[in-house]
Amino acid sequence: MNYQTPRGTYDILPDEISRWHEAEALIREKCRLYRYHEIRTPYFESTSVFARKNDSSDMVNKEMYSFGSGDESYTLRPEGTAGVIRAFDQHKLYGSMEMPAKFYYMGPMFRHERPQKGRQRQFTQFGVEALGVRSPQLDAECIALGIDIVKALGIRSVKVCINTLGDDESRAAYRAALKEYFTPHINELCSDCHRRLEQNPLRILDCKVDAESPILKGAPRLSDYLNEASRQYFQEVLASLDALGIPYEVDDRLVRGLDYYTHTVFEVKSVRPDAGAQSTIFAGGRYDHLIEYFGGPEMSGIGFAIGMERLLSLAADEGHVFPDENTTDVYVIGIGNTASSVLPFAEQLRTAGFVTEGNLVGRSLKAQFKSADRSGAKYIAIMGEEEVQNGTVNLKKAGGEQVNVRLDQAIDILKQWEEGK
C-alpha cells in the first residue's frame, strides 16, 4: 500500500500555513481596492469548456486530467479563465453588472505534467478577469494590480515583458507568413511543432524544445504584420504603463501558451539569478472572442494568473517575513486537581479574544512551563487548588511581572498589559 501524497501534490503543514493566510489576505485586500469581486467556480467542468476547437496549447493537448461519466467527459480545471467566462455567460452577468465586470478567483488547478521546482500537478492559482471592455488603460491597470501584489510581498527583483499579438486581421496575416516560413523547415523541428503548424503556427515561437534553433530565431516578426489600429492600441498600453511609472521591456517573441489571446500579452518575471527556469511570477493578456465562444455577446476581456507556490517561494527568497499564527497569548497552568476550573477559564479568555492553551492532561508543573515556553505564550495564568478555592488566579508576564488577582478581574488586567498600560 502507498500512503504517500500522489506525485506532483504536497501537504501544507501547520507551520507553513500562516504564510498562505497572509498572502491570501493581502491579495483579497488589493482586489478590494481595485474593485475586483471574488468568484468561485467548480473544480471540474465539461471538457469542452477547456478543450476548445482546434486548440494547439500543450495544456489542452497533453496536460488535462479528464474522466468520463456516461456520455459526458469532464476535466479537472487546468486554469481559471475558462470557468469564469463560462459562469459570466451562463448567468448572463453581462446584463446585470457594470462593465468592466471585474472578478478574481483563488484555488487549486490540475495539470498532468512533469513535477519540478515551482511546478506541481496540483497547484494553487490566483487570477483576475476584467470583462466587457476593450481599453488600453484597463490593460495597464490590470498589470498594475499584479505588480502591487508582488511588491506587497516584498518581491522587488522583477521585470515586465510585454508584447502585442494584434487584432484578428493582424494575426491572420502573421499566421500566413509563419506557415509559409516554417513549412519548408518543419522536419527540422520537434513533433509538437508539426501539430502547431496546422493549428496555430504562432505557438511554434513558444516551443521550449527548439527555442535556440536558428529556424525559430529567423522567423518573421509580428511587428511587421500589425495594422495601424493594432499598433495604436499597443502604443496606448505602453503610454499608460509609462504614466503609472511601471518600467517594461517589449519582447516581440512573447506569444503566451494559450490560443485565445489577442492584442496585449505580458509576463512579469523574477530577475533573481537563482530564479531558474521558473522565473515567471504572473502572466496574462487580452482576449476578444472567449466570451462569445461560450454563448455570450461579442465582448473583450483581460486577465492574468499567479501561481501561489511560486509567489510564496520568491517572497521568502527576497526576505519577506511572514507572521507566525501559531503563537499563544495566554497559557493556563493548572496545579493539582484544577482541570475543571482551567477549562472554563480558558474558554472565557478565548471569548475575550485571547489565543489560549490550557493544561488538560495532568502534566507536572515543570512540563507545563516548558509547554508554555514552546507555545510562545506572552502571559501565563497559574491556577492552583488554593486559587480555585479563593476565586483568584496568578497572572505572569513571560519573563517578568506576576500578580494575583480575582478571576473576574483577570481579563481586564490582561487587556491592560496588551495595551501597554
CATH code for position 408: 3.40.50.800
Q: Which residues are annotated as a binding site for L-histidine?
A: 79-81, 111, 125, 129, 256, 260-261
Q: Please check whether residues 340 and 310 belong to one and the same domain.
A: no
Q: pLDDT tens, 33-65?
A: 999 999 999 999 999 999 876 665 667 767 899
- In this prediction, residue 409 has a pLDDT band, given cuts at 50, 70 and 90, of very high
- Mean pLDDT, the chain, integer: 90
* Domain's final residue, options 287, 318, 349: 318
Per-residue confidence (pLDDT) for residue 258, from 0 to 100: 59
The pLDDT value recorded for residue 188 is 77
Rounded mean pLDDT, 94-122 = 91
Q: If you ran DSSP here, which 8-state letter would residue 179 be given? A: H
Evaluate if residue 85 carries a pLDDT over 70. yes
pLDDT tens by residue, 288-297:
989 999 999 9
137 and 282 belong to one structural domain: yes
pLDDT at 118 over 90: no
More confident residue, 259 or 192: 192
Residue 69 counted as domain residue: yes
Residue 34 counted as domain residue: yes
What are 260-317's pLDDT values in tens digits?
788 999 999 988 877 665 688 999 999 998 999 999 999 999 999 999 999 999 999 8
354 and 260 within one domain: no
- What pLDDT is stored for residue 198 in this prediction? 77
Q: Quick check: is 186 in a domain?
A: no
pLDDT tens-digit readout, 367-378: 999 999 988 899
Residue 367 in any domain: the answer is yes
**What are the φ/ψ torsions at residue 342 (nearest 5 degrees)?**
-60, -45
Which CATH number characterizes residue 67's domain? 3.30.930.10
> What pLDDT is attached to residue 407?
92
Whether 35 and 125 share a structural domain: yes
Query: Which has the higher per-residue pLDDT, 133 or 338?
Result: 133
Residue 321 is given by DSSP the state P
Q: Which residues form the domain of 250?
A: 16-167+227-318
pLDDT at residue 47 in the model: 93
The answer to whether residues 376 and 288 belong to one domain is: no
% of the chain residues with pLDDT over 90: 61
Looking at the fold, whether 335 and 312 belong to one and the same domain comes out as no
Number of domains composing the chain: 2
Per-residue pLDDT reduced to its tens digit, 313-326: 999 988 898 888 78
Name the residue among 404, 334, 410 with its Cα closest to residue 372.
Answer: 334
Rounded Cα gap, residues 51 and 53, in angstroms: 7
The torsion of the CA quartet 280, 284, 285, 288, rounded to 10 degrees, works out to 150
- Residue 188 covered by a domain: no
Same domain, 343 and 364: yes
The lowest-confidence range among 71-85, 293-307, 326-340 is: 326-340
Pick out the residues of the known binding site: 79-81, 111, 125, 129, 256, 260-261
Q: How far is CA 395 from CA 27, 211, 410, 413, 420, in A?
A: 39, 67, 8, 9, 15
Looking at the domain assignment, is residue 1 inside a domain?
Answer: no
C-alpha cell recorded at residue 228: 495601424
Q: Is the same domain home to 334 and 297? A: no
Q: Is the pLDDT assigned to residue 257 strictly greater than 60?
A: no
Task: Among 291, 318, 345, identify where a domain stops.
Answer: 318
Structure letter (DSSP) for residue 116: B
Digit-coded pLDDT (tens) for 380-400: 999 998 998 999 999 999 878
Same-domain pairing of 22 and 64: yes
Residue 421 confidence (pLDDT) above 60: no
Residues 6+ apart with CB under 8 A from 30: 145, 148, 149, 152
Q: What is the largest CA-CA distance in the chain?
A: 95
Q: What percent of the chain has pLDDT over 70?
A: 96
**Domain termination site, one of 294, 318, 342:** 318
Q: What is the pLDDT of residue 338?
A: 81
Residue 184 has pLDDT above 60, yes or no: yes
pLDDT given at position 80: 95
Three cell numbers written together for 69: 461519466
Stretch 239-265: mean pLDDT, rounded?
87
Residue 176 lies in a domain: no
Do both 312 and 340 map to the same domain?
Answer: no
Residue 109 lies in a domain: yes
Q: Are residues 300 and 340 in the same domain?
A: no
Same domain, 114 and 29: yes
Helices H / strands E in the chain, number of each: 15, 16
More confident position, 207 or 238 = 238
